[in-house]
Amino acid sequence: MKQNKLTELSIEDLKQKEQTLKIVLGMFVGVLIILVGVLIFIIVKNGITPLIAVPIALIPVLLYSKKNLDAIKTEIESRK
């Protein structure tokens, strides 16, 4: 699937992408918080496990998504 440049999208498409990304990002943060909570529980109960790498590995995905959301917001603001 080819991803369009933000400058080529209409304002409606940008707003739709922004709304979708906000929802997905919110759900991702929620799952990540639950994952960290479960991981803390497992560490307290059984000690340190290799599972500690999972939330750490997901942080770049979170940062990349936030960067994309900020780019979409900037593009929307530049068109107003």
Q: DSSP string spanning 12-36? A: HHHHHHHHHHHHHHHHHHHHHHHHH
* Residues present in the chain in total: 80
Q: What is the mean pLDDT of the chain?
A: 91
As a whole number, mean pLDDT of residues 38-61 equals 92
For residue range 12-45, list pLDDT tens digits in order.
999 999 999 999 999 999 999 999 999 999 999 9
70 has pLDDT over 60: yes
